[in-house]
Amino acid sequence: AARRLQASVGSGGGAAREEMRQAVVNTLERKLFYIPSFKIYRGVAGLYDYGPPGCAVKSNVLAFWRQHFVLEENMLEVDCPCVTPEVVLKASGHVEKFTDLMVKDEKTGTCYRADHLLKDFCKDKLEKDLTLSPEMAGEFKHVLAVLDDLSPEELGAKIKDYGIVSPDTKNPLSAPYPFNLMFQTSIGPTGLSVGYMRPETAQGIFVNFKDLYYYNGQKLPFAAAQIGQAFRNEISPRQGLLRVREFTLAEIEHFVDPEDKSHPKFADVADLEFLMFPRELQLSGESAKLRKLSEAVSKGTVNNETLGYFIGRVYLFLTRLGIDKSRLRFRQHLPNEMAHYAADCWDAEIECSYGWIECVGIADRSAYDLKAHSEKSGVPLVAHEKFSKPREVEKLVIVPSKKDLGLAFKGNQKMVVEALEAMSEKEAMDMKATLESKGETNFQVCTLGKDVVITKKMVSISMEKKMEHQRVFTPSVIEPSFGIGRIIYCLFEHSFYTRPSKSEEEQLNVFRFPPIVAPIKCTVFPLVKNQEFDNAAKVLDKELTAAGISHIIDTTGISIGRRYARTDEIGVPFAVTVDSATEVTIRERDSKQQVRVGIDEVASVVKQLTEGQSTWTDVEFKYPSHIGPQGDQE
Amino acid sequence: AARRLQASVGSGGGAAREEMRQAVVNTLERKLFYIPSFKIYRGVAGLYDYGPPGCAVKSNVLAFWRQHFVLEENMLEVDCPCVTPEVVLKASGHVEKFTDLMVKDEKTGTCYRADHLLKDFCKDKLEKDLTLSPEMAGEFKHVLAVLDDLSPEELGAKIKDYGIVSPDTKNPLSAPYPFNLMFQTSIGPTGLSVGYMRPETAQGIFVNFKDLYYYNGQKLPFAAAQIGQAFRNEISPRQGLLRVREFTLAEIEHFVDPEDKSHPKFADVADLEFLMFPRELQLSGESAKLRKLSEAVSKGTVNNETLGYFIGRVYLFLTRLGIDKSRLRFRQHLPNEMAHYAADCWDAEIECSYGWIECVGIADRSAYDLKAHSEKSGVPLVAHEKFSKPREVEKLVIVPSKKDLGLAFKGNQKMVVEALEAMSEKEAMDMKATLESKGETNFQVCTLGKDVVITKKMVSISMEKKMEHQRVFTPSVIEPSFGIGRIIYCLFEHSFYTRPSKSEEEQLNVFRFPPIVAPIKCTVFPLVKNQEFDNAAKVLDKELTAAGISHIIDTTGISIGRRYARTDEIGVPFAVTVDSATEVTIRERDSKQQVRVGIDEVASVVKQLTEGQSTWTDVEFKYPSHIGPQGDQE
C-alpha cells in the first residue's frame, strides 16, 4: 500500500502536467465542452454543465456503451428514479456507512475532509521540509499508506499530534466525525418520509431482481444495466470534473450461479494483453505489467472467468473510445480496500494530469446485495436450478412450538420464532446440544435487542433427509460500474494535442477524437461565398441531416485555415470544402490529407467513416487524393 | 372555461375506457414495460421504473427527439445538474410560486390536494345526486370551471360550506395552505446552503444564455435543448404514469428577436392540417377543429410564425412516433391559464383513457426568464443587433457624484450608486423634477432595505442625444417542453390492440409500435431445433448485432404461434423464422404477411425498415411472398 500511495503522490506533481492540464482545460472551457453550473450566480462547487460539444461527446459515449454492452450482451436495461426511500438505502448499508470523516473550523464552521487535511500535511512535509528526520519521513509515509484505514479516533489523534489547523484561518479544528454523503430530502407532503438522492444506480436493479429473473425466463446468467444520475454531497469537492456532486453512472449487474462463474464468450477476449496491476505487484513495489488476460484468469490472479470477461470488455470499450492503452491499467483491490463480502475487485484506472484515476470498478460482490434486500424486504431474491432427477439431501429442520413460546413471550413470540427459524445450521446444532445437556439456553434475539431463555420444549431441532427437486440459491453479482464523467475527462486529456500554425506564432489545439466520439462528425465550408457553392452546401446539409450525421455549415467566409482550426479545436474529424457544384474535398483532421468525392456520395462516405464501417485508409484508397491550396492552410 | 371542464369531466368516465385501460396496463406490467419502483418494499406513490421494453421505448423516443429537433434544427444541446441552488429558483419564481394548495386531516395528518377534493365532490354531486336542484347543479358546474383560479381563502370557504371532510376518515380538514412542490435538500456539509431538485430543465439553459449566445457567434435566432430528469413532490399522486414525482423532460428554448418572430423554415410545415382548439372554440363550447397551420398563423390565431413552426414540428414528431392524429389536438391556453408575461401558449393534448392529457407545452414566454435572471444575478443576458449605419437616439444619462454620495453614505455608497443607476426613465425624470423643485427627495434603496435622502448635488440626470451603433435587447424565448413519460404512456394506449387467437378462445395482445419506437426490432426463431438452423440463427445474431439492431433469438422450441404472440405483445415489428440454412421468412407484425429473404440480406433489410429508409410495402414488392404453414399460426 505504501508503494501504491507513493506512485500516486509522485504522479500528481510536475509542472509539465500542470501546464498540459491548463491548456486542455482552457480549450474545454472556451469551447463550452463544460461550464461551471450556475456560473452567473458564481457557481456551486462540484457541479458542472456539459455545453454543446461536451453534451454531444457524452451522448456518443453512452450510445456506444449501449451498443458495446447492452446490445452485444443482450442485457436487460432498466431506468429507475433518483429519489429513493430510506428503507432501500438502509438495507444496502448506505444510510449507515456511506460517510466521509469531516472536521470543522471551530470558529467559522467551515468543513473539511479530515483525511484530505492529513494527507496534504504529510505530502507537504515530505516534499518541502528539508530538515525532516528519516524517522519522521518514515512516519509520514506510513500515515499516507494507511490513511484509508484510520478510525475517526486515530485520524483525530494524528491531526492533534501534528498540530494541523484550519487551512484558511489557522483556527483549531473539531474532532473528526462521520458525514453522510447522500443528499437527503423528504418524499410527499407530510415531512415524515425520508428519502435520498441515490448514490449509485445499482440498488434499483437489485430490488427488481425477481421480476427481471422471471422476464429472462428464469435463466442464469443474465445481466441488467442502467444509465443514470447519481449524487454524492462531497464535503469539499476538488479535482475539477473528477470529483463532483452529481454525475452519470452506467452500471451492469451480471447475475451468475456462484457455483459456475465460467463465461461462454470468454474466448473472445482471452488473447487480449494489457497493463494489469495485481496485488502482488503493488505490495512488492513494482509497477503494472503487460499480462495476457487468459493467463491472469487461469493462474487465478483474476478470481473467475466472468470477472475476467468483463475486464476484457471494459478494456475494449475504453480503448475504442480513444483512451490511450499505455495510460490504462487494471488495478486489483488490496484486501483492506475490499468490502468483506467481495470475492475480487479490479479498477480500470486511467492516467491523467491528476494521477491514476479510478474510472470503472469491476467487482465480484458475491451474494451480498440480494441477500441484504431479501432480509430487509422479506421477499426472497433467489434463483432455482431444477435437477434432472431428484437428489437426496440432509436438511436442517427447526420447528418452534408456538404454544410454549406464546405462553413464555406473549407479544414478543413472533420475533422469537423468526429468530429461531433464522439460525444457521451450526447455531441450531449448538443449541440442540445445549438443550439436550442443560435443558435450556440463552438466545440472542436481535429484533428484541436482548437475550431470552429458550427451554427444551420450546423448539425441536433435527437434521432430516429429503428428496429435493431443485436447488434454491442467491446468485452472485459481478458489477462493472462506469463513472462516465471521469472517462470523458480522461478522454479529453488523452485526445488533446497542439500543432504549430502556418505562421508558427501560435499553437493550434486539436482533439483527436475517434469519429464515433466526436461531437460533430463533419463541417461543410463553401470555399468562397457564391450562390453555386451555397446551394451545394444546402444540398449537403439536407443529406447529412437525413443520414443522422451531426454537422456544421460554416458560411462565415473567414479563411479556410482559420475554419479548419476552429473545427480541429472541437475535434471534428472530417471537413468538407465545397469548391464546385459537383465535387468536394474531404479533409481528415489529424493527417490533414484530402480526397475528392462527388457531392452525392459525401453523406454515405461520412456515415460509413463515423459508424466504423470504413476507415480513412479505405477512403484514401478509393478516392483520388487532393493536393492544392486548401491542402494545409494553417 | 365551463365547456372545457365539462369535456374533461365527460371524457374521464366510461366503462369501456376503464376496461381498455386495464387491458393495456396489465400487459404493460406483465411485460415489465414499467414497474412500480421499490415494489419489494411496497413502493412509493408516484415513482415508476421502466423495465427492459419500456426503457428501450424511452431511449428510442429520446433518440428520435434528438434527430427530429436537435440535429434537424442545429440546436445547442446542454446537460445541467438536477441539484440546483436556491438563488436560481428564487429568480425563476419557483421558490415562491411553485405550490399546490393542501389540506390536512386534522386528526391523522394525512394530506390532500384541496382542489382535488373540491373537484371530486362537485363531480360526484353532478353525476350521482338525483335530487340536485338546477341552481346547485349550476353552482357546482361553475366551481369546476373556475377551480384553478380560486384563492386559498375561496377554496377553504367552499370546502367548509359544502361540509367536505377527509375522504378516508371523515375527520374535519384544515384550511388550505400552499405546499411547495420542489424536493428540498442541502448542498455541502454545513446545512446552510439550501438546494432543490430542479422542477424543470429550462433554468439550466437560461442561466447559460450568455455563453451559448457567444458560442453561436452572437447570432439570433438559435435554440438550446436539454433532456433530463425533473422532480415534483406531488401531494397525492394519482393517474398512474401520468402524474409522477420524477420524470424525464425534453425542453427547447428557442431565443428570438422580439421584433422578428418569423421563421425561415415555416414553409416546411405551413400546409399541415390538424386538430386545433383555439380559445374562441373553447369559449363557445365547440370542439377542436381541423385547421391548416398556415391559416392559423396568418389569421393571428397562433401569435407568430416561430410558435407556429414549433407547433407543426411537434405535430410531426408525435404522429411519427405513432400517436393517433385523430386523438391529438393543440389547445390554446385561455387568458386565465397563462402567466401574465406569456404572449401565447398551446398545449399538445393527447386523448387517452384518462381524458385529454397535456403532453407538450409550447409557450412564447417573451423575455421574462432572461430578465429575471439578469436582475437577480447582475449579469446582463442580452443580445445585440449591429446597425449597418449608426442611428441617433435619445438616451437617459444618470451620473452619480461619487464624492458627495461617499461623504453622505460611506460604506453604503456603492448600493446607493447602483440603485440610482438602475432607475427607469420615468423614475429618473420624476427624481430630476423633484430635485429641481425641492432640492432633495426620498429614495428607496432595496438592497439597503430603506429610504435615503438624495440631494441635488449627489446626482445629475439628463436626456442626451447619442449615436448608437447597435440595439441591445433581451431576446424572447419560445419554449416547447415535452413530458416524455406522458407521451410514452399515451403511445402505449394508442398502439395497443387485441386480435383473436387461432383457437378463438383468447385475445392476443399487440402493440403496433412503428419500427423506430419498437423496443426490439426483430426476433429470430429457428423453426425446429436442429444444428443447421441454430447455426444460421447464430450468424444472424452476429450480423444484427454488428448492424446495431436490437433483437431476440428465441430457441425455446415452443410453437411458432406462441412465439409470435410473445413478440407481438412487446410490439416487435419483424419476426424472422429460420427454416433453411440459406433463406428465411420475415413476417410483419400487423399484416402478418411474410416474405422470403436470403440470410445474408436479413440485417440490411431490417436495418432499412427500422431506420425508415424502406417500408414493408417496398420489401413486399422486392421479395417473394411466402404463404405456408408458418403463415398464420395463431
How does pLDDT run across A153-182, given as a tens digit for each residue?
999 999 999 999 999 899 999 999 999 999
Lowest pLDDT segment from A357-361, A392-396, B575-579, B594-598: A392-396
d(CA B80, CA B203): 9
Q: Tell me: pLDDT of A59 over 60.
A: yes
Nearest-CB residue to A40 (from B111, B215, B379):
B379
For residue A188, the distance in angstroms to the closest alpha carbon of chain B comes to 6
d(CA B8, CA B11): 5
B-chain CB neighbours of A231 within 8 Å are 82-83
Inter-chain touch B41–A204, beta carbons under 8 Å: no
Inter-chain touch B38–A82, beta carbons under 8 Å: no
Residue type at position A2? A
Q: What is the mean pLDDT of residues A334-359?
A: 91
B-chain CB neighbours of A187 within 8 Å are 44, 183, 233, 245
Closest CA to B247 of B486, B28, B23: B486
Residue type at position A345? C
Nearest CA in chain A to B84: A38
Beta strand pairing status for B76-77 and B194-197? unpaired
Inter-chain touch A76–B37, beta carbons under 8 Å: no
Does residue A574 or residue B392 have the better pLDDT? Answer: A574
Closest CA to B515 of B573, B566, B567, B569: B573
Q: What is the mean pLDDT of residues B535-557?
A: 91
Cell numbers that stand for A13 in this block: 506533481
Residue type at position A377? S
With beta carbons less than 8 A apart as the criterion, state whether A330 and A346 touch. yes
Cell numbers that stand for A478 in this block: 459481478
Distance of CA A59 to the CA centre of its chain: 16
Cell numbers that stand for B608 in this block: 432499412
Distances (CA, A) of B94 to A108, A140, A255, B203, B242: 31, 51, 43, 10, 22
Closest CA to B592 of B552, B542, B632: B632
Q: Tell me: pLDDT of B631 over 50.
A: no
Lowest pLDDT segment from B138-147, B358-367, B568-577, B585-594: B138-147
pLDDT of residue B69: 97
Cell numbers that stand for A207 in this block: 430490488
Inter-chain touch B71–A45, beta carbons under 8 Å: no
Residues in chain A: 634
Residue-averaged pLDDT of chain B: 91
Q: Tell me: pLDDT of A562 over 90.
A: no
Residue bearing cell 436495461 = A77
pLDDT of residue A627: 79
Select from B31, B40, B44 the residue whose CB has the most chain A CBs within 10 Å, as the one to mutate to test that interface.
B40
Q: Tell me: pLDDT of B470 over 60.
A: yes
Inter-chain touch B207–A40, beta carbons under 8 Å: yes
Query: If you write DSSP's letter for every residue of B405-457 in order, what string do you get?
Result: HHHHHGGGHHHHHHHHHT--HHHHHHHHHHHHHHSEEEEEETTTTEEEEEEGG
Cell numbers that stand for B181 in this block: 412542490
Does residue B342 or residue B14 have the better pLDDT? Answer: B342
Q: What is the mean pLDDT of residues A322-339?
A: 92
Inter-chain touch B83–A197, beta carbons under 8 Å: yes
Residue A8's pLDDT band (cuts 50, 70, 90): very low
Residue A13's pLDDT band (cuts 50, 70, 90): low
d(CA A324, CA B325): 51
pLDDT of residue A109: 87
High-pLDDT (> 70) share of chain A, %: 97
High-pLDDT (> 70) share of chain B, %: 97
pLDDT of residue A609: 94
Question: Interior CA angle at B370 toward B365 and B371, to 5°?
Answer: 100
Helix (H, G, I), strand (E, B) or coil at B178: strand
Nearest CA in chain B to A555: B217
Nearest-CB residue to A77 (from B52, B80, B197):
B52
Q: Tell me: pLDDT of A5 over 50.
A: no
pLDDT tens track for B96-114: 999 999 999 999 988 999 9
Q: Tell me: pLDDT of A7 over 70.
A: no
A-chain CB neighbours of B197 within 8 Å are 82-83, 185, 197
pLDDT tens track for A240-260: 889 999 999 999 999 999 999
Helix (H, G, I), strand (E, B) or coil at B628: coil
Residues 6+ apart with CB under 8 A from B34: B28, B48, B49, B50, B51, B54, B241
Element holding A487 (H helix, E strand) = helix A484-495
Q: Tell me: pLDDT of B370 over 70.
A: yes
CB pairs under 8 A between A and B: 216
High-pLDDT (> 90) share of chain B, %: 71
B-chain CB neighbours of A83 within 8 Å are 44, 47, 183, 197, 231, 245-246
pLDDT of residue A149: 81
pLDDT of residue A6: 36
Q: Which of A449-463, B301-315, B417-431 tops mean pLDDT?
A: B301-315
Residue-averaged pLDDT of chain A: 91
Return the beta strands (E) in A325-474 as ranges: 328-332, 344-352, 355-364, 383-400, 440-445, 450-455, 459-473
Rg (CA), chain A: 30
Beta strand pairing status for A76-78 and A222-231? parallel
Cell numbers that stand for A225 in this block: 444495466
Cell numbers that stand for B505 in this block: 378462445
Residues 6+ apart with CB under 8 A from A543: A600, A602, A603
Select from B48, B67, B77, B232 the residue whose CB has the most chain A CBs within 10 Å, as the one to mutate to test that interface.
B77
Q: What is the ipTM of this complex?
A: 0.88
A-chain CB neighbours of B49 within 8 Å are 78-81, 204, 208
Residue bearing cell 394525512 = B110
pLDDT tens track for B434-462: 999 999 999 988 778 788 899 999 999 99
B-chain CB neighbours of A85 within 8 Å are 38, 41, 44
Distances (CA, A) of A221 to A261, A264, B217: 9, 10, 53
Residue A448's pLDDT band (cuts 50, 70, 90): confident
pLDDT of residue B13: 55
pLDDT of residue B519: 97
Return the beta strands (E) in A401-515 as ranges: 440-445, 450-455, 459-473, 476-483, 496-500, 507-511
Residue type at position B398? I
pLDDT tens track for A187-210: 999 888 999 999 999 999 999 999
Cell numbers that stand for A20 in this block: 498540459
Q: Tell me: pLDDT of A631 over 60.
A: no
Residue bearing cell 486542455 = A24
Helices (H), B147-194: 152-161
Nearest CA in chain B to A82: B246
With beta carbons less than 8 A apart as the criterion, state whether B222 and B76 touch. yes
Q: Phi/psi at B267 (nearest 5 deg)?
A: -55, -30
Helices (H), A66-208: 86-91, 94-97, 114-128, 134-146, 152-161, 202-206
d(CA B584, CA B564): 15
Element holding B383 (H helix, E strand) = strand B383-400
Taking the whole predicted model, whether its pTM rises above 0.90 is answered as: no
pLDDT of residue B259: 94
With beta carbons less than 8 A apart as the criterion, state whether A490 and A424 touch. no
pLDDT of residue A558: 84
